[in-house]
Chains A and B, each alone.
Chain A
Amino acid sequence: MVDTRPFLPVSSHAGSDPTGPSENRRKPMKLQLSIFFVLLTVGFFAALLTSNNGSDNGFVKENEHGSLASPSSEKQLRPVSRGPAVGVSEKSNRLFAKDNENQLAYPWNNSMLSWQRTAFHFQPEKNWMNDPNGPLFYKGWYHFFYQYNPHAAVWGDIVWGHAVSKDLIHWLHLPLAMVADQWYDKNGVWTGSATILPDGKVVMLYTGSTTENVQVQNLAYPADHSDPLLINWVKYSGNPVLVPPPGILDKDFRDPTTAWLTSEGKWRITIGSKINKTGIALVYDTKDFINYELLDGILHAVPGTGMWECVDFFPVSKTEENGLDTSVNGPSVKHVVKASLDDDRHDYYSIGTYHEKNGTWIPDEPKIDVGIGLRYDYGIYYAAKTFYDQNKNRRVLWGWIGESDSEAADMQKGWASVQSIPRTILFDKKTGTHLLQWPVEEIESLRLKSYEFNQVKVQAGSVVPLDVGPATQLDIIAEFEIDNEALEKTTGSNVTFSCSSSGGTVERGALGPFGLLVLADDSLSEQTPVYFYIAKGSDGKLKTFFCNDQSRSSVASDVNKQIYGNLVPVLEGEKLSLRVLVDHSIVESFAQGGRTVITSRVYPTKAIYGAAKLFLFNNATEASVSASLRIWQMNSAFIRPYPNDKESQ
C-alpha cells in the first residue's frame, strides 16, 4: 500500500487524482510518509551492508594473526608472570596491602634517594637513559653513546648521549652526539651501532622514528675524523638509507648492527623485526652504507618470540681466550645471535654456526634457540650490545640496567637507569653451550682496602657477619664448599625448583639456600641474598641454582620484590664460585666464572650508608658450608663532565 513514486510533487494536480478535493490534504501526507518509509528502509539496509564490510576487515586481520577469542590456544613458552591477570601489577606489588606491618607506604626521603646513585657505574648526571648505542674504541678513547631523555626521568624525547673513557671505567661526559632535528628522526633518535672501516674511519647506522612514526635506518659519521673525542656528528644528506621492506610493518624495523665483511668484500648487517609472532633478523648487504640489497632469506627466525629488538651478531673463538673482530670467520669460530625480546624485556643469546654464502645461521642446540633458551642475565638487564675492542683484543658487552622502583621515586631523585659494568665475553669451552661474562679487568683499578676470609664455616641455619667496614661499594670474590656427606646422604625428590617461583631464602632445602646477604642491616630487616640452591633429583643428580632474592631487600612497598635466577652448570671438580659487585642500588652477581649472571636494583630504606652490612648465610636444613672470600672496598669512578666542557648534560 505504500506509494513508491517518491518524486511526485506534493501538491500536483497533474497526476490522476480520482479521490477529489476532500482527499487532497491526505495525499500529500501519504506521499511524505511513503518517501520517508522508503528512504528509511533503503537507508537501514545500506547501513547494514556497509557496516558488515567494515567489521569483516577487522575480523580477517585478527584471525590471521592470532584470534583474540581463544587465549587457551596460545602456547605458553615460559611461565606467565604474576601480572595483571591476577590483579597484580607487573612489579608484583600487593594490591591495597594494609595488613602487613612491614610495608611502608612512602618512606622515601632525600637521604635514601641520594644514596641510590651509583659510585662506579656509568650514568648521566640526571634524567632518563636506556639502550647502549654505538660503543667503540677510537684514537685512544673508548666511546659510549646511549639513549637519553634530556627533559625528564622517564622515557621520551629520545636523543643520543655521549661519553668517553680511557679504561671503560672512568667516564667523562660530552655534549649530546645527535638530536632529533630531521624529519627522519624527529620522533626518536633510536638505537644504532658503529662500524670501523679498514681505513680507520667510523660509520654509524641508527634507527630514526620519522614524523610519520615510521622506523627507518639512517647513516651518520663524525664531522671531523681527526677529533679523538668525536664530538660532532653529521647525518648523511640522503637519509634514510633503509625503510621497512615489503611485508615488514612500519613499527617493526629497528636497531641495525655493526657490519661485518662477506667473502665478496661487501658489508653485511642484520636488523631485527617480526612477522606475526615470529621474531626474525633481516639481512642486508652494502658496499657503501648508502645502497643496500635485502637478502632473500633471513639470518634466523624463532616462532612465538615476538619482536626482536637490539639484535647482535658476532663471532667467538672456540679455542682462544681473546675476542674476535666482527668480520672473523673460520672453522674454530662459532657465531652468537642475540635478541632483546620486546615481549618479556629479556636478552637471549644462542650459539651456532653462520653460513656465509646465504647469510643464515643455525643454532647448535635448537632447544635453546634465540628467545627460548639462555639469557645474558637473569635479572634486570636489556638492550645489550657488544663491540670488538681492538685495543685489547677482546669482545666487550654493554647492557642497560633500568630501575625497578616507582617512577615517582625516579622523578623525585631526578634520574633513572644505569649501565652494567662492561663485561668481556668468551665462549665457555667447558660447557660448549654457554658464554662467560666477566667485568672488565680495569675495574680492579678501583679496588682499595681488601679483606680476606679463609674457610669460614657456616652451619645449617646460621648467619655470619663479615666485618669489612662500609658495605655499599664492594667487589667480592667467594668460593663455597658444601659438606660432602650431606650431598650424598640427602634423599632426592622429583620436586622441580625455580628461583622465581620459590619462596626465596626462607624456603629451606636440605642443600640450600646459602650464600651472601648484601645491603643488609644489623637486624636483617632489610637484606638482599645472593645465593646458591642445590636440588637433588630422584635420580641422585644434583642441579645448582643461582638466585637473587629481592623479597626482603627493602621495607618499601613500591619496589620490585621478585626473586631472580636460573640454573647454573657446575662441572665435575668445580667449586661453587661467586663474584658480586655491590654499588649502592645495583648488585651484579656472577656465578661459575660468569656462566650465569644476575643483575638487580635494590632500594633499601635502612640498610644504607654506614648501616649497610655484609653477611654469610646458610639456610639449608642439612648441609653446612665453608666459604673463602676476598673482599675489596671500591673507590668511586668520579664520572663527571669532560673538563673545560661548558655544556653539561
Chain B
Amino acid sequence: MKNLIVIIFAFLVCQANAFRPILLLGNQNLIERTCKQTPFYDLCIWSLKSNPESRDASVKKLAQIMVDSLKTKATETLDLIDELLQDGLALDPEMQKALTSCAERYNVIIRGDVPEINEALKTGDYKFAAKGANDAAIEANSCEIEFPTKSPLTDMNKVVHDVSVVAASIVKIIQTKFSF
C-alpha cells in the first residue's frame, strides 16, 4: 500500500512537471513571438525570461522590462569604466581619453535615454521611446570605436547596443502592430 502511494505520488509529480510548460505557455508564446521580431532573439528571450515580471506581461510591459535591462547593463558598464579610470597609473593617455568620453556617453544613456524612453512608454508617445532606444545603441557603438586599439569594453558595449536595439524593436511592435 505504501509503495503504491509512493508510486502514485511520483507519478503525479511527473505529471506536474509535464503541466508546467502548458501553464506558462500562454505568456511564453507572447515572449517568443515578440523576440522573433527582434534581431537578437536569444538575448531578447534571456533578458525577458530572467525577469519574473515577464510572466503575465503585455508587450508594453516587455518593452519596459527590456529598458530596465538596458539601464542595468549600462550602469554596470559605467561602473567598470569608472574602475578602469581609477586605475590611472596603468592607463596610457589615449585609453584614458577614450574611457572618459565613454563615461560621458554612458551617462547620457542612463540619465537621458532611459528616462526619455520610460516617459514615452508611460504616456504613449512611442516615437520618443524609439528615439531614446536607438540613441542608446549609437552611444554604445560610439564608445566602442573610441578605442584606437584593443577596447576593454567590447563585450559590454555589444550587450548594451544589442539590448537597445531589441528595446527599439519591441517599441516598433507596439507602434505598428498593437493597439493599447
Contact = CB atoms under 8 A, between A and B. Distances in A.
A105 B12 contact: no
A155 B128 contact: yes
A558 B179 CA distance: 33
Interface residues of B, number: 72
B82 interface: no
B132 A154 contact: yes
Interface stretch (B16-24, B45-53, B69-77, B84-92): B16-24
Contacts of B25: 51, 55
Contact of B145 (A36, A69, A105): A105
A315 interface: no
Contacts of B137: 84, 89
Given A30-B1, A90-B130, A306-B175, A156 B116 contact: yes
Contact of B1 (A1, A90, A155, A275): A1
Nearest to A560: B138
A213 B180 CA distance: 12
A44 B142 contact: no
Contacts of B13: 40
Contacts of B8: 1-2, 37
A408 interface: yes
Interface in A245-267: 249-252
Contacts of B105: 106, 406, 408
A1 B146 contact: no
B112 A65 contact: no
A252 to B, nearest CB: 7
A571 interface: no
A411 to B, nearest CB: 5
A275 B180 CA distance: 10
Interface string B140-163: 011011100000000000100100
A408 B178 contact: no
B98 A105 contact: yes
A62 B123 contact: no
A62 B137 CA distance: 28
Interface centre among A55, A157, A276 (most CB of B within 10 A): A55
A188 B172 CA distance: 22
A187 interface: yes
A47 B19 contact: yes
Given A33-B9, A37-B8, A48-B19, A68 B177 contact: yes
Contact of A277 (B139, B142, B145, B177): B177
Contacts of B178: 65-66
Interface in A51-66: 51-52, 54-56, 58-59, 62, 65-66
A91 B29 contact: no
A345 interface: yes
A407 interface: yes
A98 B145 CA distance: 6
Given A33-B5, A84-B168, A558-B138, A251 B130 contact: no
B161 A95 contact: yes
Interface in A311-358: 342-343, 345
B119 to A, nearest CB: 5
Nearest to A36: B9
Contacts of B145: 96-98, 103, 105, 557
A406 B101 contact: no
B122 A71 contact: no
A251 B123 contact: yes
B80 interface: no
B123 A68 contact: no
A188 B108 CA distance: 22
21 contacts: A1-B8, A30-B2, A44-B15, A58-B26, A84-B168, A86-B39, A89-B138, A89-B168, A153-B112, A157-B119, A209-B124, A215-B124, A249-B179, A250-B124, A306-B175, A345-B127, A406-B105, A406-B138, A407-B132, A408-B104, A408-B142
Q: Which 9 A-B pairs have the closest CB atoms?
A: A55-B26, A251-B124, A68-B33, A105-B146, A89-B137, A408-B108, A90-B134, A106-B101, A407-B135
Interface of A: 1-2, 26, 29-30, 33-34, 36-37, 40-41, 44, 47-48, 51-52, 54-56, 58-59, 62, 65-66, 68-69, 71, 84-87, 89-91, 93, 95-98, 103, 105-106, 152-157, 187-188, 190, 209, 213, 215, 249-252, 274-277, 306-307, 342-343, 345, 406-408, 411-412, 557-558
Given A37-B8, A157-B119, 7 more contacts: A48-B22, A51-B24, A56-B26, A91-B138, A105-B101, A213-B123, A342-B126
